[in-house]
Amino acid sequence: MMKIALLFAGQGAQFVGMGRELFDASGPGRHVFERADAILGAPLTHVCFDGPEAELTQTGWAQPAIFAHSMAALAAIQAARPGFEFHAAAGLSLGEFTALAAAGWMNFEDGLRIVRRRGELMQQACDRTKGAMASIIGMEAEPLQAIGRETDVDVANLNCPGQIVISGEKKAVERAVALARERGARRAIPLVVAGAYHSRLMKSAGDQLESHLSSLALNAPPDAASRPVISNVTALPHDGANVKRLLVEQVTSSVRWEDSMRHLIAQGIRFFIELGPGEVLAGLMKRIDRDARVISVSKPSDLERLSAIG
C-alpha cells in the first residue's frame, strides 16, 4: 500500500483569488468557505477572492485564509475520491495547525478561530518591533548559526538543503546578511515580510497564544500513532501530552522543515500531497529528496493529479 502524507501551506503562499475556483466548482469547497465566513462573522471569502492584496497579506487575514483554502482543497479531494486515506500530515508554521485539524486533533471551527487569533497576535508583535527576515542560500546551518550568535539573530526556518531563513531585529539581520555574503553564502536575500517571524521578537504573541490554547479542545485522535502529525519544533510526531506547549514554542522556534520531511521519508512515506495556495512545499521537497513524489492541489483541475496514486 502506498503511504501518503499531506503537507499544508504556510503564510506567504496567499494570493488574491485563492480558493475562488474551489468555491465555484466544488460543493464541499464552497461549504468550507461559507462555514468560515459564518464562524468568523467576517467576509473571509471576499478578502481571499477580491483582496485587496494589502489586506490579504495582513497576518490576521492571511492565516485563516490559508487555513480555509487548505481545508477546502482537502474536502474536494475527499469528495472526488471517496474513502481517501492519508497516513501522516505536516504543515509549515501556520500549516501545522491545519495538519492537526485535518488529522482530527481539533475541529474546523476551533482551528479557524485559533489561527485567526494567532495571526492577530503575531501582527501585534510585528507592529511593536522592528523585525526583518532574510533567506540565506548556499550556506550550511552550523556556520549560519554561528553568524546568528555573533549578530543576535535567530534561525527561523531550516527549509531544505542550502536554504535557511534568519529572523530578528532589522539592523541585526542586515549585519547577518553582510557576514553571510562575506563568508561564502551564494545569495542572501532580504524578505518582504511584516516582521521577524519565528524569532524571540514573537515572544509576546506566543505568551498570549498560550492562554487561548489552554481553553481549546485539542486531543490526540484514536489513530494518532498510526497517522502522525509532525511538530515543527521537534521534527517528530506530536503526542497528546505536549502538543499545546509545542504550538506555543513554535511561534519563536526554528521551523525544522527539512528534518520533518526526512522523518516522514524514513517512515516509508514516498508520496506527498500539498494542499493550499501555491507549490512552495513541493519545491522544497524536490531539494530534500528528488525521489519523493509530490503533487499540489489548490484548485479543481489539480484533482486530476490524484490519478498518480492509483
Structural contact between residues 64 and 36, judged by C-beta atoms closer than 8 angstroms: yes
298 is catalytic: no
With cell 546568528, the residue in question is 148
Find the catalytic residue in 26, 70, 87, 93: 93
293-297, strands of its sheet edge to edge? 88-91, 4-8, 271-275, 293-297
Catalytic residue among 69, 198, 238, 263: 198
Active site includes 93? yes
Any idea which residues carry the catalytic annotation?
Answer: 93, 198
